[in-house]
Amino acid sequence: MEQQALFTEIPITDVEGLRIGNAQDAEAKTGVTVLIFDEGAKVGIDVSGGGPAARETHLADPTTADSPANAIVLSGGSAFGLAAADGVMRYLEERGAGYDTGFARVPLVLGSCLYDLGVGRADVRPDAAMGYAACVDAEANEPISGDYGAGCGATVGKICGMGRSSNSGLGMFAAQVGELKVAAVVAVNALGDVRDPETGEVLAGLRGKGGAGFVDTRSVLYGIARRTDIFTGNTTIGAIVTNGDFSKAEMSKIASMARNAFARCINPVGTLADGDTIYAASTCKVAADVNVAGTLAADVMARAIVDAVRSAS
């Protein structure tokens, strides 16, 4: 109760300039979540995992051109899922969005994928059609947590393989301090276990033999005497979106501060068997302090991670 008094929870749709849409194949257990910025957004990034699958991440580098991004795509399908961004680009181009090159408008779309090929069907991955469908869903702007979008095939606690893992999903949370609004969207597909940072309770992770209770993933990891091919089908991908007015460099700092939520909730995290990535996008509406925004980003990301596992079926 004392923690909630520090900020006010708000609907994620209250963040100006942001629309969110999901599309998924429930049978194949894979999907796409798209964040669309109708007026563009300055984007930063933090990559802490050792095996990311991503596209256009250099657009978030503060040394590149300061052109506003049009969308961020979170997808299943491992690197195959990068194709979903093609559908997002087609949707945006049809609506006149993108950087004007003089000959055509080129939508600026960043994206990251998680590995869900071990769940459902490995031969069905997010494609351009699914990316386009997620954009159409964003027109209603009524995003849902759980087994939807990029979280459709998400699981956690996989160091001993899929048979002892737990279901996870897509999580969301948003909060406000004064005029500053900060939202988090995350698909939690981690090697490690997920805890509630407020209580320490294990919410999802490596299950005991026979499915009873949870086993600390670290106890298995520490038992590995030498380097071996531990199960690598992981990656937690997410985005922070704020109405605060920040530069790309400041947004990268906010993304790195949001990574503290991964450490609070997921253990182990950021291993070579993960591709953990956080985007941070500014719709540049209100003046704000970067330290406040980064601290709030970590809080809302932690709540979003908890939402992802609690809302999963």
Residue predicted with more confidence, 59 or 225? 59
Angle CA(274)–CA(133)–CA(237) in degrees, nearest 5? Answer: 15
Confidence of residue 225 (pLDDT cuts 50, 70, 90): low
Return all residues near 67 (Cβ < 8 A) that are at least 6 apart.
40, 59, 99, 108
Confidence of residue 209 (pLDDT cuts 50, 70, 90): confident
pLDDT at 150: 97
CB 267 within 8 A of CB 241: no
Residue predicted with more confidence, 221 or 82? 82
Strand partners, 34: 21, 73
Radius of gyration of the chain (CA): 18
Sign of the CA dihedral 250, 256, 259, 263?
Answer: negative
Residue predicted with more confidence, 273 or 289? 289
CB 185 within 8 A of CB 150: no
State yes or no: pLDDT of 1 exceeds 50: no
Hey, what are 215's tokens? 């086993």
Q: Alpha carbon 32 to chain centroid distance?
A: 11
Model's pTM, two decimal places?
A: 0.94
State yes or no: pLDDT of 81 exceeds 60: yes
**Would you give the end-to-end CA distance of the chain in angstroms?**
27
Confidence of residue 272 (pLDDT cuts 50, 70, 90): confident
Q: How much of the chain, in percent, has pLDDT values that exceed 90?
A: 83
pLDDT at 171: 98
Confidence of residue 5 (pLDDT cuts 50, 70, 90): confident
pLDDT at 232: 62
Tens digits of residue pLDDT in 124-181:
999 999 999 999 999 999 999 999 999 999 999 999 888 999 999 999 999 999 999 9
Question: For residue 234, how many other CB atoms are within 10 A of its CB?
Answer: 29
Weakest mean pLDDT among 109-118, 218-227, 273-282: 218-227
Confidence of residue 223 (pLDDT cuts 50, 70, 90): confident
Tens digits of residue pLDDT in 178-205:
999 999 999 999 999 999 999 999 999 9
Strand partners, 181: 176
Domain covering 4-310 in this structure, CATH number: 3.60.70.12
Q: Where along the chain do its domains lie?
A: 4-310
State yes or no: pLDDT of 285 exceeds 70: yes
Q: How high is the mean pLDDT of the chain?
A: 93
Confidence of residue 31 (pLDDT cuts 50, 70, 90): very high
pLDDT at 227: 56
pLDDT at 2: 46
Q: Alpha carbon 228 to chain centroid distance?
A: 28
Measured distance CA(264)–CA(186) in Å, rounded: 15
